[in-house]
Structure 1
């Protein structure tokens, strides 16, 4: 088990390593925003959900979390490809159902928990890769203090066949102020 894989808690937000008992609750949460999946690399909506979960479980270099808000599963987030030798990890694969977005502060709490924990585990750089069309996510990572470091042009084909551009953001441990502005 990776040191990154643990329960993380901040007030009403709790991250638990994704387990079998979370799957149907996650399926229901993913179904609450059918339109958002158009800008995700994979779809977790309807008939695509089971395949996405199979692919997630086949990928061994991700640390997946169920996101709970006030005890209710509202989404997921992941550490992607932790590189302990270079002290770099990506945070991504985040989905939060509509009712828990925005003023609820769930995304900010998730990211603060994951960033704090990654830095405590010895990582010194965190990366975020965001579809160039996803302006909400770009704004969220900028608010955390991450710097836009460039855009990878036409680097990923999404589940719809769209060839996306990916905005790269980086956050260094020396720059981290807790993401509170």
Structure 2
């Protein structure tokens, strides 16, 4: 995860998260904080600095890769997302799946967008870029998504792009409101990627 990864589309640019992005992220987070009902989004500089510090630490450990999301039309920071829970399995030498893969499985999460980017091409193309890189460049076998069981909008968005519902993880983590959160888990497999990609391209059009 030490390499510099930049993913670029027509509408959005995904760049490795840096401390220099903190000011823009705070501005994005404060455009309308009320929309972040189910997702932790820091609002002030100390909290955002801690958030970025932790994301970069996870990248250095090889278990995550965080991006800042930048709109190409206005060069404005729209939010952030990351690959996380990255796993590279140890296949026996000569095994059919002992391939030139960056990773085997991971999750896409810690995703949030400022209000002016919600329900725009920004989110759809961000997912297209992340998934294309995972399946076509890194040869991933599976990617997962998790969301609060109460977050119906997020569940609908994951299903819209082709995520398959796997079940509910009970008492999965502490929720943003300091309750015990149940999470809905979704996945996309490598074999499903061509259909998912076709669907995403249609949605962008």
Question: Normalization by structure 1: what TM-score?
Answer: 0.90
1:114 equivalent in alignment to 2:152: no
Q: How many angstroms apart in 2 are the aligned matches of 1:24 and 1:6?
A: 21
Q: 2:163 aligns with which of 129, 146, 149?
A: 146
CA–CA distance in structure 1, aligned partners of residues 12 and 41 of structure 2 = 24
Contact 1:37 1:45 in 2 (8 A): no
Aligned to 1:65: 67
| RMSD after superposition | 1.8
DSSP-derived class of the 2:146 partner = strand
1:75-99 C-alpha deviation (Å, 9 max, x unpaired): 1110002212271110011011111
Q: Which moved more, 1:110-119 or 1:81-90?
A: 81-90
Aligned length: 178
Q: CA deviation at 1:163?
A: 1.2
Residues 35-54 of structure 1 mapped to structure 2, 5 A cutoff:
35-40=34-39, 42-46=40-44, 48-54=47-53
Seen in structure 2, the aligned counterparts of structure 1 residues 7 and 139 have a Cα distance that, compared at 3 Å, is: same
Which has more radius of gyration? 2
After TM superposition, the runs of 4+ consecutive aligned structure 1 residues lying more than 6 A away are none
Deviation at 1:159, TM superposition (A): 4.1
3-state DSSP class of the match of 1:38? coil
C-alpha deviation, 1:43, in angstroms: 3.7
- Pick the structure with more strand per residue: 1
The answer to whether 1:97 aligns with 2:114 is yes
Structure 2 Cα separation of the partners of residues 56 and 35 of structure 1: 23
Q: TM-score, normalising length from structure 2?
A: 0.80
Contact kept? 2:41, 2:112, Cα under 8 Å: no
**In 2, are the aligned partners of 1:30 and 1:45 still within 8 Å (CA)?**
yes
Could you tell me how far 1:24 is from its partner in structure 2?
A: 0.8
CA contact (8 A) 1:37 1:44 kept: no
